[in-house]
Amino acid sequence: MGELPRRVLSALVVAPPAVLAVWAGAPYFGALVLAAVLILAWEWDRMCDGRFGPAGIVLALSVAAAAVLAWLSAWTWGLAAAAAGFGAVLAVERLARGKAAFWAAFGALYIGVPAVAILWLRDDPVAGRASVLWLIAVTAATDIGAYFSGRAVGGPKLAPRVSPGKTWAGLLGGVVAAGAAGAAGGWLMDGSLGVLAGAGVMLAFVGQAGDLFESAAKRRFGRKDMSGLIPGHGGLFDRVDGLVIVILAVAAATLLIGAPVVQW
């Protein structure tokens, strides 16, 4: 089976349960986030240390605690658990003379804070479901648009030293697709098409930056994929690298504006 059929088949298996969990809300969405952060912690520690060791266990426990506390609407305590995890993983890595102590510890924040943020966004009783589905749709559209336009057009590389496969054409395709997805979400939810299209465009750049950040991290540790968990895609982190940063951006904007994204 070629790469594209594997990617499509994997997406058809993974995406529907995730969307249903977002739609259903608690407790299903909380369970989904908890399972996701445990997988992400496993992948992150394997990248940093070459195996899942004591620091990885501490990392997994800390991000799981952050997710569970956020699931219980204890947002501040969830963020505190992620911050405490950073210190705990750093201490374990230093005791074990780990060569990537900061990177390993950073995983507690990189995984834990977005987990708290997306649970907080979904908790809105009026617009939580729509907001989370919208940001996922925009991020997915960015990835799909970038993939197909990059393959079809090719051309100059976006960041050849970090991610040789990414092109400027792919970036443009992702931006256009994200803008269209943002506007479509606005139309479906009676929001402002112009505002949400613009938000989609901006989040496309944010998501691509998150993608490049993880590519740089993998390159530092000599890895192509975070794992082989999802055929055709690599690991879970390889699929949500843009999403984790988009979640943070949407949560921050929601706090600043004082309204959920679909009401901007």
Rounded to whole angstroms, the Cα distance separating 235 from 175 reads 24
Judge whether 78 and 66 are in contact, CB under 8 Å. yes
User: Taking Cα atoms as reference points, which of 256, 21, 193 lies closest to residue 122?
Assistant: 21
pLDDT in tens, 139-167: 999 988 888 888 888 788 888 788 878 88
> Is the confidence at residue 41, as pLDDT, over 70?
yes
Task: Give this prediction's pTM.
Answer: 0.93
| Cis-peptide into 156, omega within 30 deg | no
Question: Higher confidence at residue 9 or residue 118?
Answer: 118
Q: What is the mean pLDDT of the chain?
A: 90
Question: Higher confidence at residue 31 or residue 229?
Answer: 31
What is the pLDDT, as a whole number, of residue 95? Answer: 86
Rounded to whole angstroms, the Cα distance separating 261 from 133 reads 11
Q: Categorize the per-residue pLDDT at 100 as very low, low, confident or very high, splitting at 50, 70 and 90.
A: confident
What is the pLDDT, as a whole number, of residue 6? Answer: 67
Q: Is 175 helix (H, G, I), strand (E, B) or coil?
A: helix
Structure tokens at 177: 């697709």
